[in-house]
């Protein structure tokens, strides 16, 4: 037993006198996991300066030739995207009968995929908007790629409701377009609200992303311009990609010249966009849940759906961010300085929290099914979802889907209670993969299990996906990955201006303020 006071032990340890017997601070990992209350954990490791941050981030986008791995992945994902295009073409020229839909199960993989993708999109807005409002500076390491992911996921999401209508040449009827028949959409339908919510969400996310990109595209423009000037001075030929960059990013950056007066309006505008995106993201997934909640189907007709869907969307979206960025962090040079273990740990904690919220919603659905005394509701939850067929003859044929959902979404994140697990990139990556699978199954369970056991046993049907169903979904993953790889190849993956602003040297040291006069590690941090 120690005779030394715990406070003294901690003080001695801070002074570097070795682990005193009273207690030991946890391992700081790569340096970002430091739990010393006197030191703010660095957001960018190795004391990277402004110039180094520019070099690292622009280096990814300016590599003259893509490496083999990138080409292989891009080839694979572009092939899958092409398969998706062919499947959609086949669907349009043949009809929705090429999917496994039946007269009873008339929504299945199409709407599952829609909700799955739109949910993934929500993490991007959460990171860029909600964490911005809460002044969580660690968002700077992931916001750019998460926002890109949002846009690509919403593109994939928008695909499915558009093609599932069958006669796609009538899709314009969902928009309030003046027409010769003098008819207008039904504004009481949540499906129509969905059209407005998703298209607004896509537009606002794209604007938000573009606005964040303006200064960074200006950086790429200036670097390309400088290389062109250098080549001209040396009498060499200008490298064509630099010329393309200078003109493209020049036009897109709109003549941004890093003026402080501009920065001031830019920051105010950014804050407003964050402020409106926050209720927007909550409204979009609430409206998606209304598609189900306003119906009278047992298992759908519940008031818990909006918050439950929003929590699930954030959960699945963060899993996708981690799933994409952890391999990138291993492959790209110096990315570990920007995307630190602390960032991964923070996101793991969000996965844990939202996973528990989703688990609470699953439990509450069961409780209400019993407590409400509604036997149709209880039947859906017990005999169409949870009860395995090997336990009872009245069991749910889709029990395996339900239990995949529970084990992936509720059980797998529980490993994050342990610090060593939530700071281990491989473990996080595996959990992220499981959560992504689990969240797809959650939507499948909600949609198909309710539909396949409706009120009349005569309408009971199983759903069997056809190869077209499967290839369309796999192909949509190809579209998503292709767009994301192109983004990684050509655009700055990190918000450089924001990263620079959270480094310690970005702050003015006021000579008159004794609090700020002594040390740099006071600033920046979490």
Partner 1 sequence: MSVAEYFPMLKQFLPSGLQDPPPRFTGPNGKPVHGLVAQYSAVDPVCDAAEKVRDAGFTAWDLHSPFPIHGVEDVMGFKRTKLPYISAIVGLTGAGLGYLMQWWMSGNYEIVVQGKPPTAWEPYVPIIFEAGILLTAFATIGAMFAMNGLPRLHHPLFTHEAFLDSSDDKFFVYIEAKDEKFDMERTRTLLESTGADRIDVIEDE
Q: Which residues bind partner 1 (CB under 8 A)?
A: 49-51, 54, 176, 182-188, 190, 192-193, 196-197, 200, 203-204, 207-208, 210-211, 215, 218-219, 221-223, 225-226, 229, 250-251, 254-269, 272-273, 276, 279-280, 283, 287, 290, 496-498, 500-501, 505-509
Instruction: For partner 1, give the closer residue by CB, 37 or 182.
Output: 182
Q: Write down the least CB distance from residue 151 to partner 1, Å.
A: 14
CB 445 within 8 A of CB 385: yes
Provide the token pair at 396: 């749910």
CA distance 388 to 115: 26
DSSP character string of 115-180: HHHHHHHHHHHIIIIIHHHTT-GGGGGTHHHHHHHHHHHHHHHHHHHHHHTS-GGGGGGGS----T
Q: Write down the least CB distance from residue 412 to partner 1, Å.
A: 34
Please report where in the chains the tokens 């342990």 appear, as a residue: 418
At residue 170, the 3 state secondary structure works out as helix
Instruction: For partner 1, give the closer residue by CB, 196 or 239.
Output: 196
Instruction: For partner 1, give the closer residue by CB, 283 or 383.
Output: 283
Q: Write down the least CB distance from residue 258 to partner 1, Å.
A: 5
Q: Write down the least CB distance from residue 225 to partner 1, Å.
A: 6
Instruction: For partner 1, give the closer residue by CB, 266 or 429.
Output: 266
- Length in residues, the chain: 526
At residue 127, the 3 state secondary structure works out as helix
Q: Write down the least CB distance from residue 287 to partner 1, Å.
A: 6
Q: Among positive and negative, which fits the CA dihedral 281, 284, 288, 294?
A: positive
Q: Write down the least CB distance from residue 208 to partner 1, Å.
A: 7
Q: Write down the least CB distance from residue 218 to partner 1, Å.
A: 5
DSSP character string of 97-110: GGSS--SS--SSHH
Q: Write down the least CB distance from residue 453 to partner 1, Å.
A: 26
Q: Write down the least CB distance from residue 509 to partner 1, Å.
A: 6
Instruction: For partner 1, give the closer residue by CB, 258 or 400.
Output: 258
Instruction: For partner 1, give the closer residue by CB, 166 or 185.
Output: 185
Q: b/e per residue, 514-524, with b = 16+ CB within 10 A?
A: eeeeeeeebbb
Instruction: For partner 1, give the closer residue by CB, 182 or 514.
Output: 182
Q: Write down the least CB distance from residue 329 to partner 1, Å.
A: 23
Q: Which among 301, 291, 302, 293 has a CA at the least distance from the CA of 455?
A: 301
CB 368 within 8 A of CB 304: yes
CB 163 within 8 A of CB 91: yes
Q: What does the CA dihedral 112, 115, 119, 121 come to, rounded to 10 degrees?
A: 110
Please report where in the chains the tokens 């996080």 appear, as a residue: 428
CA distance 137 to 128: 10
Instruction: For partner 1, give the closer residue by CB, 290 or 487.
Output: 290
DSSP, res 506: G
CB 192 within 8 A of CB 171: no
CB 154 within 8 A of CB 118: yes
- Residue 222 CB neighbour total at 10 angstroms: 19
Q: b/e per residue, 87-106, with b = 16+ CB within 10 A?
A: bbeebeeeebebbbbbebbe
Instruction: For partner 1, give the closer residue by CB, 215 or 317.
Output: 215
Instruction: For partner 1, give the closer residue by CB, 103 or 260.
Output: 260
């Amino acid at each position: 037993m120690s005779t030394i006071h715990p406070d003294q032990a901690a003080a001695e340890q801070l002074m570097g006198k070795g682990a005193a017997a009273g207690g030991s601070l946890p391992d700081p990992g790569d340096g970002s996991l430091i739990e010393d209350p006197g030191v703010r954990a660095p957001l960018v490791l190795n004391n990277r300066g402004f110039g180094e941050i520019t070099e690292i981030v622009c280096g990814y986008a300016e590599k003259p030739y893509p490496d083999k791995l990138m080409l292989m992945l891009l080839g694979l994902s572009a092939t899958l995207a092409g398969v998706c295009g062919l499947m959609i073409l086949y669907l349009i020229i043949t009809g929705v009968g090429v999917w496994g839909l039946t007269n009873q199960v008339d929504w299945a993989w199409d709407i599952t995929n829609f909700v799955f993708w739109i949910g993934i999109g929500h993490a991007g807005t959460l990171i860029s908007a909600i964490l911005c409002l809460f002044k969580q500076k660690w968002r700077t390491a992931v916001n750019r790629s998460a926002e890109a992911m949002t846009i690509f996921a919403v593109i994939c999401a928008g695909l499915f409701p558009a093609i599932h209508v069958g006669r796609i040449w009538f899709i314009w009827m969902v928009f309030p377009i003046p027409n010769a028949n003098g008819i207008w959409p039904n504004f009481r339908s949540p499906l129509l609200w969905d059209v407005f919510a998703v298209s607004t969400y896509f537009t606002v996310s794209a604007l938000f992303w573009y606005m964040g990109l303006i200064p960074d595209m200006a950086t790429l423009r200036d670097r390309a311009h400088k290389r062109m000037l250098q080549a001209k001075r040396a009498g060499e030929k200008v490298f064509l990609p630099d010329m393309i960059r200078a003109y493209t990013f020049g036009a897109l950056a709109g003549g941004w010249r890093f003026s402080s007066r501009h920065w001031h309006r830019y920051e105010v505008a950014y804050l407003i966009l964050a402020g409106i995106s926050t209720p927007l993201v909550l409204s979009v997934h609430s409206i998606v849940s209304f598609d189900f909640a306003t119906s009278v189907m047992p298992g759908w007709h519940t008031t818990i759906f909006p918050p439950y869907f929003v929590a699930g969307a954030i959960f699945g979206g963060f899993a996708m961010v981690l799933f994409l960025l952890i391999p990138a962090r291993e492959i790209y040079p110096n990315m570990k300085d920007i995307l630190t273990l602390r960032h991964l740990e923070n996101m793991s904690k969000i996965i844990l929290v939202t996973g528990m919220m989703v688990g609470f919603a699953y439990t509450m659905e069961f409780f209400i099914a019993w407590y409400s005394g509604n036997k149709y509701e209880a039947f859906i939850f017990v005999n169409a979802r949870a009860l395995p067929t090997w336990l009872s003859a009245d069991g749910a044929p889709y029990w395996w889907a339900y239990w995949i959902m529970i084990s992936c979404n509720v059980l797998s994140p529980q490993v994050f209670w342990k610090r060593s697990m939530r700071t281990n990139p491989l473990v996080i990556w595996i959990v992220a993969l499981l959560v992504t699978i689990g969240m797809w199954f959650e939507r499948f369970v909600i949609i198909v299990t309710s539909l396949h056991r409706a009120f009349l046993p005569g309408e009971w049907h199983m759903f069997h996906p056809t190869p077209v169903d499967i290839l369309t979904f796999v192909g949509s993953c190809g579209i998503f990955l292709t767009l994301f790889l192109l983004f990684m190849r050509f655009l700055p993956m990190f918000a450089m201006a924001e990263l620079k602003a959270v480094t310690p040297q970005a702050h003015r040291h006021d000579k008159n303020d004794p609090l700020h006069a002594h040390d740099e590690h006071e600033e920046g941090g979490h």
